[in-house]
Amino acid sequence: MNLPDTLLGEGWYWAAWAVWLPLFARSLFRAPWAMLKESEQWNVWLGMIVLLTLMWSLKAGVKPGLSLHLLGATVFTLSFGPHLAFVGLSLVVLGVTLNGEAGYFSFAINALLMGVGVTISQAVHRLALSFLPRHFFIYVFINGFLGAFLAVFGVGVAATCLVAMAGAYEWDYLVSEYLPYLVLLGFSEAWLSGMLITLFVIYRPGWVLTFDDSIYLANK
């Protein structure tokens, strides 16, 4: 899902920059930076950025722009909220770009694709709060497992639609040779993210902004 500079038409890349810049500025302004004043939270946030940068270097793919790798968007979103997650994932994309794994001109479009994962993760969390009982296992399985699966699959579908509309690949090829692998990647992402969120809320609940003991554990 790391798009190079030459895969799409130039207009797609300029449009992505026009969309990403105000969204990134909005997240910078609205992010809860106060929570990072504690050295532990700051270290966790930076640690996630470094870890994901390394993880994204381990990818599979047979065609330019059709790589497959774990995202970490759901864990980032549940731990720090959507705005810090979007800023953090944009920095991960920057690190991957500087490492030569993606194009510089395509930075904005790659960062926006990660924003899709953040949006889906946040939407799943809000829907669970609104319509499901506030229970520990619901938080873990819906937010951690299901949210992660939907996030990585949603990012993959968005990337698929993008390269198809830009004429980079045929729909038939993408549907038969790329989309099926997103399901397998989604299960891997769900397992890893669910496991990490479970460990965090049990041993380090302070690392997870969206988890509150008084809501999910008290009197259960």
The predicted pLDDT at position 177 comes to 83
Q: Per-residue confidence of the chain (220 residues) as pLDDT tens digits?
A: 678 888 888 899 999 999 999 999 999 999 999 989 888 899 999 999 999 998 887 766 667 777 778 889 999 999 999 999 999 999 999 998 988 777 889 999 999 999 999 999 999 999 999 999 888 889 999 999 999 999 999 999 999 999 899 888 889 888 888 888 888 889 999 999 999 999 999 898 889 999 887 777 766 5
**CA nearest 105: which of 169, 17, 34?**
17
Q: Where are the domains of the chain?
A: 10-216
The predicted pLDDT at position 198 comes to 92
pTM: 0.93
8 Å CB contact between 152 and 117: yes
The predicted pLDDT at position 147 comes to 95
**CA nearest 197: which of 110, 75, 62?**
75
The predicted pLDDT at position 62 comes to 63
Q: What is the C-alpha separation between 195 and 2, in angstroms, rounded?
A: 25
8 Å CB contact between 190 and 149: yes
Q: What is the pLDDT of residues 31-67, one digit of tens each?
A: 999 989 888 899 999 999 999 998 887 766 667 777 7
| Domain at 10-216, CATH from 1.10.1760.20, 1.10.3720.10, 3.40.190.290, 3.40.50.720 | 1.10.1760.20
> Locate tokens 């690190």: which residue?
95
Distance of CA 212 to the CA centre of its chain: 22
Q: What is the C-alpha separation between 99 and 149, in angstroms, rounded?
A: 27
